[in-house]
Structure formats: structure tokens, C-alpha cells
Amino acid sequence: MPEPVIELQDLHKRFGPVEALAGLNLQVPRGTLYGLLGPNGAGKTTALRILCTLLAPDAGSVRVAGLDALAQPRAVRELLGYVAQEVAIDKILTGRELLELQGALYHLPASRLQARLSELSALLGMDDWIDRRCGTYSGGMRRRLDLASGLLHDPALLVLDEPTVGLDIESRAAIWQVLRRLRDQGTTVLLSSHYLEEVDALADRLAIIEGGRVIAEGSPTGLKSALGGDRVTLRVREFSDEAEAARVRQVLQSCPGIQQMVVNRAQGHSLNLVVENEAVIEPLRRQLAAADLPVFSLSQSRPSLDDVYLQATGRTLMDAELAVAGSRDPKAERKQAMR
């Protein structure tokens, strides 16, 4: 494996009573496209902000390309480009004017800046609208311009926080293509996402973050292959309640060949099963029918990243998202944002 360009060791960070990072450890190999997967509130953004020297950890160490990011923040900033989750764009300036302003902040020579603008405009498909005012841009255009800002100084490391959140399919596909091209040209790309398909499609390696720590790490193919078995999503009616889901679980406890059962509350209390092979399906149907619980729907598939998350945490990523949303205190979040 290539040497790590990012090394985060035993990172801890609290915001009042909230423990955002609880001993996070991560190594990102040089020249890879590396994904951080986890629900909102898992600690991904906090980890990225610490990596980019925008936030200090309570404890732990951060190294980027061999440099101590806590002791040498300025040197580390010269090595990386950071594209935050929230797009901050002046609506009056044109895209070109905004990038020229960004280039001045980087102290780029005028000749290099103009050449870089031409390269990025072509790379990101901005030629037709780069001279329009940013206030007229769509969400996809804004995201591409923000990506161009992070790439302007040609960083060796590109850090992206939810780079395609809220974008349409076409815009998302365009950004995916750019990220793959950057990786192929030698740029190390670290992106956080809660989109399973995005990390599965892009990442050479990934880490799943839950509760401020890494709970699984490896290549998408390797993590899925390690699970073994088939995945079955089962319903006994279109929308079951918690009591009925518990009854289905009890009935299937004695069914041979079932390795794991988890209730998916986000999808009408359906059951997610891990089974040895497809031979388990018919005995499963018969056992439920005998208990007056005939199958309403059943789908079978090979392991996915959601199954990896399910195996590691005992719940689906969607259930984790709903749990975080349900535990949020909007008033407290507004107070924290204003500080």
C-alpha cells in the first residue's frame, strides 16, 4: 500500500456535552480517492476541519505529508485544497472574478493564475458560464466553482465535505468524473459523504465513521466480500409496526441459515436478513406462513455498503440518519452556530 499522506491518531473533540470525535484513527494512502462514510453527526466534518487546520482537537495528532499540522498549519495549508459543505459565493462577482480574487489570496503570479483558470474552466466544464454573475448560477454550477477554488493552487491533497449533496444526477456525475480524473493524475482526494452509492462508486478505500470513531476500514469490494452470504429484505405487509416486526423476528429465530436479523424502522419496520444462501428462502416462507405471517414482499441481493454498516453497527445508515435527526435540538444548534 502507498505511504500515508494523512495520519490522524487518537483524535478527540468535544463541543460542550457533545463528543464529536472519540479517539478517531485514520490513514489515507497517497494518490488514492478515499471516502469517509457515515450519517450526519458521525464526526466527519469535525475530522476534516481539524485536518485542514480550521479547528484544534482536544487531544491527538495530525500529520499531512509528514508535517505536524498542529505545529505547522501554514505549511499544511499550502499542500491542500478544502471544499466545505456549505458553498460561500459572492453573488455580484462573476465566476472568473471570484477565482481571480481567490488566486490573489494564494499570491499566485498573474500568468500562472490565468493559465490555471483556463485549465480549470475546461476541466469543470465552466467555459460557457464562468463570466456570468454567480447569483445566476444553479446549485451544480456553484459546486463546480467552489471545487475550482479548492483546486486553484494545484494542491497535492483535495479535501471535500459532502461534495454532491443536493445536486441533480447530471451534476453529480460530472463531479464524479472530475474527481476520478484528479485521482488518476496523482492528486490524493479525501471526501466525506453519507451517500452509499457515491462512496461505493468512487472510493479506492473507505472508512465508516460512527460516534466519532472509525468502525470499519478497507476497500469497498473487500468490505462487502468479507461479509459473505446474501442479503434479504423482507416485509409481511406494506407497513408493519414494531410489535409485528418483533413477532416476525421471534418466528424466524429457529429458521436455519439466517445469520443476522435487523429491523429497518426507516422502511416500514421491514427486516434486513443475512442468509447463508438462497436455499434459506423457501423454509423461511413456510415458517412465516405457518405463523399466519405470509410474506408481502421479499428481495434478495449481494452485500452492499449498507450491509457493511449494518454488520458494524446493528442498524442501517438510514436508521442512523433518523436517530441523529430525532436527537437534534434546533435551539441549541442555533446557539452553537452563533458562537
Number of other CB atoms surrounding residue 306 within 10 Å: 18
Kindly state the cell numbers that stand for 15: 463541543
pTM for the model stands at 0.81
CA–CA distance, 151 with 129 (Å, rounded to integer): 18
Same domain, 244 and 177: no
Last residue of a domain, one of 174, 205, 224: 224
Please, what's the largest Cα pairwise distance for the chain? 78
Give the percent of the chain with pLDDT over 70.
94
Q: Does the pLDDT value for residue 77 go beyond 50?
A: yes
75-82 average pLDDT score: 94
195-208 average pLDDT score: 93
Q: Give 158-171 pLDDT, tens digit per residue.
A: 999 999 988 888 88
3-state secondary structure of 285: helix
Last residue of a domain, one of 170, 189, 224: 224
CA–CA distance, 89 with 174 (Å, rounded to integer): 20
| CATH assignment at residue 276 | 3.30.70.100
Q: Cα dist. 240→150, 231, 246, 262 in Å? A: 47, 20, 10, 14
Q: Are 21 and 61 in contact (CB under 8 A)?
A: no
Residue 259 contacts by C-beta under 8 Å, 6 or more apart in sequence?
229, 273, 274, 275, 276
- The pLDDT, as a whole number, for residue 231 is 84
Q: Does the pLDDT value for residue 146 go beyond 90?
A: yes
Same domain, 143 and 254: no
Total residues belonging to the chain: 339
The reply to whether 336 falls in a domain is no
Is the four-CA dihedral 235, 239, 240, 242 of positive or negative sign? positive
The b/e string for 18-41 (b: 16+ C-beta within 10 A; e otherwise) is ebbbeebebbbebbbbbbbbbbeb
The residue range of the domain holding 171 is 4-224
Place of cell 412465516: 288
Chain centre distance of CA 284: 35
3-state secondary structure of 156: coil
274 sits in which H/E element: strand 270-275
- The pLDDT, as a whole number, for residue 332 is 45
Same domain, 31 and 98: yes
Q: Which residue has the higher pLDDT, 310 or 31?
A: 31
Q: Are 63 and 110 in contact (CB under 8 A)?
A: no
| CATH assignment at residue 204 | 3.40.50.300
Same domain, 220 and 249: no
The reply to whether 50 falls in a domain is yes
Same domain, 280 and 202: no
End-to-end C-alpha distance for the chain, whole angstroms: 42
